[in-house]
C-alpha cells in the first residue's frame, strides 16, 4: 500500500498521513490521528523513507519485567490487549539486575518501540528514562513502589480478607505472609482493618512460615482464623491442619489471596480473593496505548470487583459455635413430581416439573440444625456416583461437619420420589440405594463423632438394628436421643427404652403400635415401654405431647401449605435447637410447631428449612416471641 492510497482511505491529505506516521502530529486532531493509526496498523503500512530515517511508528510495545515468575497472567493480559490494538511486544526480563535493566532500556530505544511498560527494578534506573523522554517514547511504570506507578491494590485485598473474618465474629486473626512487597501491602491492609474495627494488632500474630508456634496458637484456641497472602502456603496449612484432624471452618477459618493461574476448581476449596492479574495486564496496556496514540494519560483507576470465591473455609469462631448435635440417618436425592390433580388411591395421574434436590431425613435434619446456628455433625452413607457430589456441596454450603459421611464404592445413592399435588399433600416412594450399608459396625467405626454431642437425632429410614446401636452408644455417653419413625413398623422393647423423645405423626404412631386402635392408648404403651416423651405431630392441627409430667395439645396458626414434605424434620431440628438455647420443653415445642408450619409454605425440604433469624422475626410479628 502506498501513502497516497492510505490517505485516500482515511480521507485526509498525504502530508497528514506522513506527519502522523513520523511522530510530527502535534497540530493534528486526536480523532484524525486515531483514524490514521488504525489504518496503519490494519494494513501494516511503513513508508520506505521512514524506515531509512528511523522515525516511523514501529507498532511495537516494549515490556520490561523484573522476573517472569508470578507475571504470567499479567503478561497474558498485556499480550491480549496489544494484539487487539494492532501491536506486537518486545519482552525484556531483568532478573532483578539493575545493570541488565539499563541494557534493556538501550535495546528498546535501538529497536524504536512506540511505548514501554516498565516493571521497575531500581529507582536509580529512572535517570535513564531520559532516553525515552528524548525519543518521545511514552512509558508506564507498574507493580512498583514509585508514586507514579500503576499497581494492584493489595492493601485493599488484605483489608477485605480481614474484614470478612471480622464480619464472621473473629477477633484473634493471624496473618501468614511470604517475603516481598506484595505481602507487605497485604499486611498494611490487615493492620488497617484491625484498627478500623477496634481490634489490637500484635506482631506475634504475623508468620512467614507454618511454624510450631503458629500451630500451637491454633490448637490452644488463641487464634481462630488467618489471612494468607500466598495460596500455596494456604494449601500447605490446610494439609497440615486436616492431618491433625482439624475441620475447616468448624475448628479454624482461613482466607487467602489467589493467583488466577490456580484456577477456580483447585482442590481443596479454600476461601480466596482472586488477584486480578489478567485484567490488570489489560488495563496497563490500554493505558499505555492511550498515551501513545492520543498523547493523553487515561485517568481511569484500576478498581476491579473484589469478591471471595466461596465460604468453604470461613465460619464463625469455634468458641462461639452453637452446641454440637449429632445426626445419624439417611442421605439421598429427592425427586419431586408435581401434579394439578389430588393424590388419591387408584386412577392415573399425570405428573410434570421434575425437580431434584439432595435430601434424606438425616441430611434434612442436619441442615435444619445448622440453620438454627448449631454445629451439625452428620453420620451416613451414600454411593460413589455423581449424586454424592451434589450432597457434599450441600454439606459445604451449610457448614455441616462431613467427617461421618462416607462414599461407598460400587453402590448407588438412595433416592426418594415425592409425588406432590397443588394442595401441598405428598406421597413418597423410596429406593433405598446404599442406606442399608450404614450398619452397627460402620457406626462403631465413627463412634468418636459422638463425643461432646448435646443431642443425637436418628431416623428409621436406616435399619432398626443401626437405630438401636446408635441409641445404645448415645445412652452410654449420656446423650439424649430423638427418634423420628417412618415406615418402620413396630419398634422393639429394647429400642423403646433407649429413646428419650419419639416424634411420630398419627400414621407412624399407628404403624408402631398396630395392636391398639386409639392413639392415646398407643402413646401410653410407648411411655410404659420406656420412651421418655412422645410428641405426635398433627400437621395443621399442631402437635400433642405427653410424658410423666405433661399432657398437652399445642395448636398452631393455619397457613397456606405448598409442600408438607419436610415439616417433621423442621419440627425436630427447631425443637432440639431451642432446648439447647435453654428454653423449657413447652416453649421449645411452641416454637418448633410454628417453624414446621412455616416450612410448609415453601417448596422443597432443605430450601424450606427455616433460619433462626427469619423464624424469630416471624414469631415476633405474630406476638409469639420472645417467650418468657
Q: What is the CATH number of the domain that holds 448?
A: 3.40.1190.20
The winner for highest mean pLDDT among 30-44, 288-302, 501-515, 614-628 is: 501-515
The winner for highest mean pLDDT among 12-16, 182-186, 224-228 is: 224-228
356: pLDDT strictly greater than 90: no
The verdict on 92 and 19 lying in the same domain is: no
The verdict on 484 and 567 lying in the same domain is: yes
49: pLDDT strictly greater than 80: no
Give the cell for residue 615. Answer: 423464624
- Residue 43's pLDDT is 63
The verdict on 372 and 412 lying in the same domain is: yes
- Residue 235's pLDDT is 94
List the Cα angle 274/276/277 in 5-degree steps.
125
- Residue 56's pLDDT is 63
What are the contacts of 316-320 at 24+ separation with CB within 8 A? 316/168, 316/169, 316/170, 317/168, 317/169, 317/170, 317/171, 317/172, 317/224, 317/225, 317/253, 318/221, 318/224, 318/250, 318/251, 318/252, 319/221, 319/224, 320/169
d(CA 163, CA 389): 31
302 in a structural domain: no
* Average pLDDT over every residue of 617-623: 87
Give the cell for residue 29. Answer: 486532531
11 in a structural domain: yes
Q: Render pLDDT for 194-223 as a digit per residue (tens, 0 to 9).
A: 999 999 999 999 999 999 999 999 999 899
* DSSP single-letter state for residue 264: T
* Average pLDDT over every residue of 54-71: 80
Residue 98 sits in a domain of what CATH number? 3.40.50.2300
- Residue 420's pLDDT is 72
355: pLDDT strictly greater than 90: no
- Residue 520's pLDDT is 92
- Residue 51's pLDDT is 42
493: pLDDT strictly greater than 50: yes
Helices 585-599/612-621 angle, 10° precision: 100
* Average pLDDT over every residue of 148-164: 94
Residues 6+ apart with CB under 8 A from 147: none
Give the percent of the chain with pLDDT over 90: 50
Are 96 and 121 in contact, with CB atoms under 8 Å apart?
Answer: yes
d(CA 292, CA 117): 12
The verdict on 511 and 593 lying in the same domain is: yes
594 in a structural domain: yes
List the Cα angle 107/110/113 in 5-degree steps.
90
- Res. 50 pLDDT band, cuts 50 70 90: very low
98 in a structural domain: yes
C-alpha distances (whole Å) from 193 to each of 200, 253, 466 are: 10, 17, 50
- DSSP track, 323-358: PEEEEE---EEEEEEEESS---SSS----EEEEEEE
Instruction: Point out the domain boundary residue: 92, 121, 149.
Output: 149
d(CA 111, CA 120): 20
Decide which of 432 and 130 is more confident. Answer: 130
11: pLDDT strictly greater than 70: yes
- Residue 246's pLDDT is 87
The verdict on 99 and 138 lying in the same domain is: yes
* Average pLDDT over every residue of 338-358: 65
The verdict on 70 and 172 lying in the same domain is: no
- Residue 265's pLDDT is 47
386: pLDDT strictly greater than 90: no
Decide which of 136 and 318 is more confident. Answer: 136
The verdict on 344 and 262 lying in the same domain is: no
Does the CA dihedral 314-319-325-329 come out positive or negative? positive
The verdict on 340 and 432 lying in the same domain is: yes
Would you tell me how many other CB atoms lie within 10 Å of the CB of residue 304? Answer: 15
Phi, psi dihedral angles at 116 (to 5 degrees): -140, 130
- Residue 152's pLDDT is 92
Instruction: Point out the domain boundary residue: 149, 169, 201.
Output: 149
d(CA 320, CA 170): 9
264: pLDDT strictly greater than 60: no
Phi, psi dihedral angles at 223 (to 5 degrees): -135, 125
Residues 6+ apart with CB under 8 A from 203: none
| Distance between first and last Cα of the chain | 90
- Nearest Cα neighbor of 578 from 625, 538, 514 is 625
340 in a structural domain: yes
Give the cell for residue 246. Answer: 482439624
Are 56 and 46 in contact, with CB atoms under 8 Å apart?
Answer: yes
- Residue 267's pLDDT is 67
Residue 28 sits in a domain of what CATH number? 1.10.260.40
The boundaries of the domain holding residue 71 are: 60-149
- Res. 15 pLDDT band, cuts 50 70 90: confident
- Residue 115's pLDDT is 94
Give the cell for residue 425. Answer: 399433600
For cell 529507582, the residue is 123
Are 580 and 454 in contact, with CB atoms under 8 Å apart?
Answer: yes
d(CA 226, CA 246): 14
510: pLDDT strictly greater than 60: yes
Domain count, the chain: 4
d(CA 32, CA 20): 9
628 in a structural domain: no
Largest CA distance in the chain: 109
* Average pLDDT over every residue of 281-307: 84
Decide which of 154 and 343 is more confident. Answer: 154
d(CA 610, CA 625): 15
The verdict on 564 and 612 lying in the same domain is: yes
- Residue 352's pLDDT is 63
The verdict on 133 and 163 lying in the same domain is: no
67: pLDDT strictly greater than 90: no
The verdict on 531 and 582 lying in the same domain is: yes
* Average pLDDT over every residue of 4-20: 82
Are 497 and 521 in contact, with CB atoms under 8 Å apart?
Answer: no
208 in a structural domain: yes
Decide which of 225 and 557 is more confident. Answer: 225
Residues 6+ apart with CB under 8 A from 537: 503, 504, 505, 543, 567, 568, 571, 596
The verdict on 385 and 509 lying in the same domain is: yes
Decide which of 469 and 430 is more confident. Answer: 469
C-alpha distances (whole Å) from 325 to each of 51, 113, 372, 382, 587 are: 79, 68, 11, 20, 20
- Res. 346 pLDDT band, cuts 50 70 90: low
Decide which of 320 and 501 is more confident. Answer: 501
525: pLDDT strictly greater than 50: yes
- Residue 48's pLDDT is 47
**How do the residues of the chain divide into helix, strand and coil, expressed in percent and rounded to 5?**
40, 20, 40
Instruction: Point out the domain boundary residue: 108, 131, 149.
Output: 149
Lowest mean pLDDT among 340-349, 400-409, 475-484, 599-608: 340-349
d(CA 319, CA 314): 14
Give the percent of the chain with pLDDT over 70: 90
Burial of 348 (0-12, 13-18, 19+ CB in 10 A): exposed
Q: What is the mean pLDDT of the chain?
A: 87
Are 490 and 512 in contact, with CB atoms under 8 Å apart?
Answer: yes
Give the DSSP H or E segment for 174.
Answer: strand 173-176
Q: Is 226 helix (H, G, I), strand (E, B) or coil?
A: strand
301 in a structural domain: no
127: pLDDT strictly greater than 70: yes
* DSSP single-letter state for residue 450: G
Amino acid at each position: 500500500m502506498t501513502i497516497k492510497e492510505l490517505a485516500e482511505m482515511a480521507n485526509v491529505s498525504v502530508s497528514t498521513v506522513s506527519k502522523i506516521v513520523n511522530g510530527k502530529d502535534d497540530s493534528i486532531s486526536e480523532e484524525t490521528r486515531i483514524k490514521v493509526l488504525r489504518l496503519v496498523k490494519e494494513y501494516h503500512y511503513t513508508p520506505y523513507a521512514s524506515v531509512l530515517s528511523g522515525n516511523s511508528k514501529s507498532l511495537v510495545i516494549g515490556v520490561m519485567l523484573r522476573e517472569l515468575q508470578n507475571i504470567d497472567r499479567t503478561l497474558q493480559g498485556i499480550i491480549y490487549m496489544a494484539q487487539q490494538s494492532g501491536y506486537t511486544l518486545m519482552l525484556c526480563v531483568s532478573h532483578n539486575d539493575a545493570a541488565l535493566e539499563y541494557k534493556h532500556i538501550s535495546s528498546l530505544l535501538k529497536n524504536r518501540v512506540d511505548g514501554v511498560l516498565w516493571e521497575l527494578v531500581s529507582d536509580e534506573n529512572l535517570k535513564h528514562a531520559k532516553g525515552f523522554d528524548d525519543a518521545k517514547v511514552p512509558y508506564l511504570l507498574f507493580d512498583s513502589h514509585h508514586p507514579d506507578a500503576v499497581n494492584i491494590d493489595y492493601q485493599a485485598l488484605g483489608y477485605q480478607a480481614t474484614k470478612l473474618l471480622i464480619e464472621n465474629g473473629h477477633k484473634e486473626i493471624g496473618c501468614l505472609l511470604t517475603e516481598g512487597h506484595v505481602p507487605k501491602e497485604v499486611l498494611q491492609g490487615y493492620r488497617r482493618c484491625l484498627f478500623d474495627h477496634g481490634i489490637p494488632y500484635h506482631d506475634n500474630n504475623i508468620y512467614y512460615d507454618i511454624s510450631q508456634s503458629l500451630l500451637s496458637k491454633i490448637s490452644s484456641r488463641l487464634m481462630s482464623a488467618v489471612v494468607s497472602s500466598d495460596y500455596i502456603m494456604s494449601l500447605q496449612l490446610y494439609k497440615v491442619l486436616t492431618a491433625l484432624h482439624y475441620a475447616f471452618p468448624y475448628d479454624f477459618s482461613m482466607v487467602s489471596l489467589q493467583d488466577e493461574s490456580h484456577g477456580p476448581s483447585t482442590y481443596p476449596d479454600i476461601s480466596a480473593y482472586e488477584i486480578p492479574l489478567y485484567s490488570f495486564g489489560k488495563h496497563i496496556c490500554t493505558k499505555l496505548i492511550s498515551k501513545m496514540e492520543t498523547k493523553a494519560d487515561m485517568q481511569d483507576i484500576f478498581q476491579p470487583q473484589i469478591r471471595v470465591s466461596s465460604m468453604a473455609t470461613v465460619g464463625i469462631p469455634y468458641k462461639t459455635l452453637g452446641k454440637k448435635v449429632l445426626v445419624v440417618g439417611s442421605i439421598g436425592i429427592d425427586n419431586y413430581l408435581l401434579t394439578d390433580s389430588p393424590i388419591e388411591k387408584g386412577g392415573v395421574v399425570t405428573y410434570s416439573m421434575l425437580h431434584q434436590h439432595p435430601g434424606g431425613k438425616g441430611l434434612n435434619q442436619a441442615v435444619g440444625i445448622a440453620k438454627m446456628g448449631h454445629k451439625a455433625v452428620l453420620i451416613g452413607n451414600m454411593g460413589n456416583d455423581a449424586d454424592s457430589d451434589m450432597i457434599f456441596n450441600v454439606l459445604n454450603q451449610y457448614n455441616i461437619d462431613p467427617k461421618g459421611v462416607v462414599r461407598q464404592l460400587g453402590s448407588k445413592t438412595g433416592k426418594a420420589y415425592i409425588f406432590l399435588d397443588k394442595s401441598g399433600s405428598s406421597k413418597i416412594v423410596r429406593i433405598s440405594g446404599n442406606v442399608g450399608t450404614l450398619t452397627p459396625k460402620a457406626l462403631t467405626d465413627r463412634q468418636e463423632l459422638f463425643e461432646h454431642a448435646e443431642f443425637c437425632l436418628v431416623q428409621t429410614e436406616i435399619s432398626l438394628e443401626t437405630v438401636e446401636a446408635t441409641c445404645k452408644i448415645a445412652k452410654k455417653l449420656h446423650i439424649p436421643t430423638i427418634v423420628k419413625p417412618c415406615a418402620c413398623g413396630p419398634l422393639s422393647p429394647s429400642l423403646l427404652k433407649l429413646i428419650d423423645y419419639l416424634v411420630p405423626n398419627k400414621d407412624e404412631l399407628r404403624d408402631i403400635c398396630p395392636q391398639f386402635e386409639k392413639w392415646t392408648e398407643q402413646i401410653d404403651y410407648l411411655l410404659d415401654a420406656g420412651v421418655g416423651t412422645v410428641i405426635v405431630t398433627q400437621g395443621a392441627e399442631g402437635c400433642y405431647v405427653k410424658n410423666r409430667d405433661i399432657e398437652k395439645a399445642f395448636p398452631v396458626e393455619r397457613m397456606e401449605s405448598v409442600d408438607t414434605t419436610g415439616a417433621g424434620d423442621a419440627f425436630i431440628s427447631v425443637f432440639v435447637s431451642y432446648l439447647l438455647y435453654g428454653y423449657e420443653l413447652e416453649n421449645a415445642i411452641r416454637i418448633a410447631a410454628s417453624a414446621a408450619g412455616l416450612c410448609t409454605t415453601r417448596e422443597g425440604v432443605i430450601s424450606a428449612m427455616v433460619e433462626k433469624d427469619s423464624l424469630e422475626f416471624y414469631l415476633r410479628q405474630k406476638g409469639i416471641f420472645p417467650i418468657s
